[in-house]
Amino acid sequence: MARRSEEYLSPEIVNRGVEGSGPYAGSPSFSVRVHRGLPDFLSSVNLKYVKLGYGYLINHGFYLAWLPILLLVFSTQVGKLTWDVFHLEYYSLVNTLVFMGFLSLFLYVCLDLTPRATYLVDFACYLPPNELKITRDEYLELAKKSGQFNEKSLEFQQRVLKTSGIGNETYLPRVVFRPGYTKDLTVGREEAAASMFGAVDELITTTGIRPKDIRILIVNCGVLNTTPSLSAMVINRYKLRHTIQSYNLGGMGCAAGITAVDLADDLLKAYPGSYALIVSTEVVSFTWYGGNELDMLLPNCFFRMGAAAVLLSNNRLERWRSKYQLKHLVRTHKGMDDRSYRSIHLKEDAGGKQGLSVSKDVMEVGGHALKANITTLGPLVLPVSEQFHFFKSLVWKKSNSSKPYIPDYKLAFEHVCILATSKKALDEMQKNLDLTDEYMQASRETLERFGNTSSSSIWYELAYLEAKSKIKKGDRVWQLALGSGFKCNSAVWKAVRTVKQQNRKPWKEN
């Protein structure tokens, strides 16, 4: 039994010998036998991603690396001075250094050459109305009455919901259970408007930001893409400025929220001192599938209504009221691999009904993307001691059959927000990353209370940490999201102040 469990979580390379015919005759042939579940992170480490991580680190610290060199040159020149020359030219030297210091400060401030940090001023999550709450039993009852599913499909959904980790207070629009329901643009726009505007209204009320002060707008939604776009809906609703830098990200799945943060960070560098508004959502009435293909029924069981609005800025005056500073962001894309590319995709079944297909390989595909992402992230966040043990294990790897040392990521972060996909996925990630129950609490509580809200899920989790008064000044928060493509994205935030208990939505309903 132990052996079979180990194989279940590991890929296996099989030597098939030498091709006997065809264009590759005489060439060695290999195949990969894969097993469902996350891959064993201890079995292999791709040095390509380790090098990439250190490349990020070197680029980020490029200017600081020059400081020791300048000090060395300066000390060398001072060493050439004799005492007689030194005391004669002392005042001239000091005056020159002071002048150069003030000149450098003047140029940096007046020409705005100092690097600007990106701050998370605040964020808000949408809390749907109580009439949209749905229990697991009510879901199954309505699904049966809808006439959309046969007995086999209903039994499958019942089994999935039982082990999903989703509770009895998630939110789902009842229109999807209407007999003969088909995707309707009017219904989709109404759901998108309710979710997006609910989150943005809460954010504007909390921060006091004037809509005309927002320079950058990024909206991401996976399945629903309308004309005019969802970002245009937000512009029209809040009468944003005509020079707004507007972007609409579609089809990028659950990892799109961090992709939007990355884009906003780049745009803020181009428009220093500005405000960027990010709106992340998913329209459940457009992800719903009313057929009997089992691989297309999983999103029905997990996806629930939700949205988040996030306000970012690199205005230095905003630091005093901001909550977090963006420290690192690493994005990994495995779309070059066919299995990864096809693991989650929108398709039509034989009857022409559209839905999201989730392949049986998605757990392992996600595991490989996660392994590549955290291997790249490691050099940026891990303490030196952990990196030393890791490299020591790599050096001895060729002469030692033991598995490489996997760093303890708990030493790099005080809090972790992993996308609340499913209980099984969270269990596997906790096991492979060796995280405690406390680290997983925000993700599990969010999954139970709100279900999988797609790209906005990581913000519901951060809101949970704030509601429980867990965020202290200096704490590091790791947001981790995976999505179709296949993508794995990480964002690391540092709390610039202790966040007092947040008695507001979504964790406080009244």
Exposed, middle or buried, 293 (CB in 10 Å: 0-12/13-18/19+)? Answer: middle
Per annotation, catalytic residue among 292, 452, 488, 489: 452
- Annotated active-site residue 333? The verdict is yes
- Are the beta carbons of 123 and 310 closer than 8 angstroms? yes
Q: Are 323 and 120 in contact (CB under 8 A)?
A: yes
Identity at 490, one-letter amino acid code? S
End-to-end CA distance of the chain: 50
- 3-class secondary structure, 332: strand
What does the alpha-carbon distance between residue 249 and residue 222 come to, in Å, rounded to a whole number? Answer: 8
CA–CA distances in Å: residue 145 to residues 140, 291, 334: 9, 14, 41
Where do we find the tokens 């990200």?
249
Determine whether 368 is an active site residue.
Answer: no
What's the Cα-to-Cα distance from 124 to each of 131, 134, 136, 192, 359, rounded to whole Å?
21, 23, 27, 16, 33
Q: Which of 221, 254, 301, 488 is catalytic?
A: 254
| CA–CA distance, 218 with 150 (Å, rounded to integer) | 40
Half-sphere exposure of 377 (CA within 13 A, CB side): 26
At a CB cut-off of 8 Å and minimum separation 6, what does 186 contact?
none
Handedness of CA 17, 21, 27, 29 (dihedral sign): negative
- Among the listed residues 301, 333, 417, 489, the single catalytic one is 333
Residue with token string 């050439």: 80
- Can 328 be counted among the known catalytic residues? no
87 is catalytic: no
Select which of 415, 432, 488, 489 is catalytic.
415
- Count of residues making up the chain: 510
Residues acting as catalytic residues = 254, 333, 415, 452
